[in-house]
Structure 1
Amino acid sequence: MKLALINLLPTTAKVPFIRVRFMALGLSALVLLFSLFEFANVGINFGIDFRGGIQAEVETSNNTTTEDLRTLATSLDLGDPRVQGAGNSDPERQTFLVSLPLQPGEGMEGEQANQTARQALQEALASVEGLELRGTTVIGGAVSRELIFTGFTAIGVALFLMLIYIWFRFEWQYSVGAIVALIHDVIATVGMFSVTQMTFDLATVAAILTIVGYSMNDTVVVYDRIRENLRKYKKMPLADVLNLSINDTLSRTILTSATTLVALISLYLIGGASLQGFAFAMIWGVLIGTYSSIFVAAPLLLFTNVQREGTQSGA
């Protein structure tokens, strides 16, 4: 008896994806509007990489909790502290990251204020029995602003290069669908971080760039099959060709997404707090990327009126 997963997946599925395109596109529009609204009104919980501040890494072998460390940092009266667990391979020891906001002041005055705050945080943590201070870091406002600019520039450049790639590999109609799907994925991911208020740091930017690549790969697979079927079925209505192509690649899409999610969910559950933001962004990105390849990128070809004769060019 064959129990291989590939034998359990539909190879001749006839799911009417294109028939529900208006409902799917309407849902996508609502998700994007809600994401932009949340981003504008709530904002993102930037990590210390982007907002700047003072961060100390401590390791404890006693029953110290995040609330204990937050109370200790609050007593310094240096702003609202943030404390998060960073995980540890040793179950008897816990690692925490304690962060304070940048202290007010300009130039040398601000630098001196932050160094004083850093020293006060070090002394307060060192006074707690059972705590081992692993190190402290001060990230200035100029550095954090540069990281924000660099991070979002990297995402923008990635989207632009993907557009150029699709344009040359297929036709301009395909590039429009692909880039709209990618922008959809990025905005939806940023919106999810705004809703959940999970820490958004450089690891999250790396996850978004990975999501862009994953979603593009999924879209290219569907587009390749669409181009192939356009050549094969010259008299079949375009909507039927699109639906047939999506169903032809459905088993591959399910296998790829499922195996990727197994690894990412494991990483989220046992990878520790320091990796949860990255894993969460990737899990959401795989789901939204798979959705956009099927319900956004492919149906948009109906609106850009892709031409059959144009499929004779390309790779």
Structure 2
Amino acid sequence: MSEPKVYNFMGRRHLAAAFSITLLVIAVIALAVRGLNYGLDFTGGAQIEVGYEQPADVNQVRTVLTDAGYRDVVVQYFGNNTDVLIRMQEDNNPDLGNEVLDLLSAERNDVELRRNEYVGPQVGEELREKGGIGMIVALGLVMVYIALRFQFKFAIGAVAALIHDVIIVLGFFAVTQFPFDLTVLAAILAVIGYSLNDTIVVADRIRESFRTIRRDDPIYLVNISLTQTLSRTVITSLTTLLVLIALGIFGGEMIRAFAEALTVGVVIGTYSSIYVASNILLAMKLTKEDLMPPEKEQADEDEVPSWLTDPDDEKS
């Protein structure tokens, strides 16, 4: 009976490493040179909600406000095509909502003001700092969990893969200059969870292969582990991507950035769970001895009570 086919994933590990390094360099340069295009959640500004009786044209609303001199105007549907959310970089002005309403009423008279809010820059800065701290804490807890659950080398590989995914997603937003708001931050935290789940499944299979298969070849053992989890990884990733694509197309402006960030994260997370984490394990010289459970110590004869071994103490 022929052995099941084993895909040689690790035969391309050097090419995968070069690809990952290239993506990371591009991402870091983009973050350093261009930075993230922070949305009003982080920079502060005005949020105005208006409602129409008939479906609104967000492009027309954006054009009217931009022509009027307002800065960084973002217009999107809010729930349905008759509710419109307007965000702009403006100072705190209680009359701003009425000013916007007057401009829009000149185009159409079926519009009403529903909300006029202002997000201060201090609040935005606090959100940015706490969001960054949240990601760092999440990565630290992941490293501790995997070190306890598996082995320290697995923890390094998993956290390196997660950092790899986060930096590349951030780099994507730096390159494209898509708005980076709280929904994108939530998507990045979701990417950490998704990628971690995939990495743990692969790590568990690698550990079992090292313990149960007699062949002492780390590359073969990693390859057979990745082959055994491949169908599960592909099915999970494809079904997730189908949902995210549907959200990006039909979910409206409010959820589009979330869907974009998660789509990039799922693709990169699937790749990193196969090539980044496993590649690091091989680079750190993972062996069977690292994963073998500790043998129970045999009791020494000196520790055995003398009355069990000394015939003179036996009772007649």
TM-score by length of 2: 0.85
Rg larger in structure:
2
Q: How does 1:237-276 map to 2 (within 5 A)?
A: 237-276=217-256
Structure 1 Cα separation of the partners of residues 110 and 147 of structure 2 = 60
Residue type at the aligned position of 2:263: I
1:95 aligns with 2:83: yes
Q: How many residues align?
A: 291
**AA aligned opposite 1:96:** V
**Contact 1:118–1:138 at 8 Å: present in 2 too?**
no
| Conserved 8 A contact 1:13-1:248 | no
- CA distance in 2 between counterparts of 1:50 and 1:292 reads 29
1:17–1:243: 8 Å Cα contact kept in structure 2?
A: yes
Shift of 1:122: 4.3
What's 2:170 paired with? 190
1:230 Cα deviation from its structure 2 partner:
0.5
Deviation at 1:72, TM superposition (A): 2.7
CA distance in structure 2 between the partners assigned to 1:267 and 1:301 by the alignment: 36
Aligned partners of 2:248 and 2:259 also within 8 Å: yes
Counterpart contact for 2:143–2:155, Cα < 8 Å: yes
Contact 2:248 2:260 in 1 (8 A): yes
Give yes or no for contact 1:12–1:248 (8 Å, CA) kept in 2: no
1:135-155 C-alpha deviation (Å, 9 max, x unpaired): 121000100000101111111
1:33-56 residue CA offsets vs partner (Å, 9 max, x unmatched): 101111122222212111110111
Equivalent residue in structure 1 for 2:35, among 29, 43, 62: 43
Q: Deviations over 1:183-241 (max 9, x none)?
A: 00001111111222222111111111111011011011111111101011244211111
Q: Deviations over 1:69-125 (max 9, x none)?
A: 233323443x42323322544xxx43332222143xxxxxxx5xx335455334434
Distance 1:88 1:209 in 2: 24
Whole-Å separation in 2 of the counterparts to 1:285 and 1:174 = 21
RMSD: 2.1
2:61 corresponds to: 69
In structure 1, the residue matched to 2:72 is 81
Q: Does 1:290 align with 2:270?
A: yes
Change (3 A) 1:151 1:55: same
Higher relative contact order (CA 8 A, sep 6+): 1
State the match for 1:280 in structure 2.
Answer: 260
Q: Where does structure 1 lack aligned partners over 5 or more consecutive residues?
A: 1-10, 104-110
Cα deviation, residue 58, structure 1 = 2.1
- Paired with 2:206 and 2:64, the residues of 1 have a C-alpha distance of 60
Superposed, 1:7-46 pairs within 5 Å as 12-46=4-38
AA at the equivalent of 1:121: V
Contact 1:177 1:301 in 2 (8 A): yes
Structure 1 residue aligned with 2:49: 57
- C-alpha distance in 1, partners of 2:4/2:195? 23
Secondary structure class of the residue paired with 1:133: strand
Gaps of at least 5 residues in structure 2 are 295-316
TM, length-normalised to structure 1: 0.86
Q: 1:267-302 deviations in whole A, cap 9, x for unaligned?
A: 111111101111111111111100000010011111
Within-5 A mapping of 1:149-168: 149-168=129-148
Query: Which has the larger displacement, 21-30 or 299-308?
Result: 299-308
Contact kept, 8 Å, 1:102 with 1:141, in 2: the verdict is: no
> What percentage of aligned pairs have identical amino acids?
37
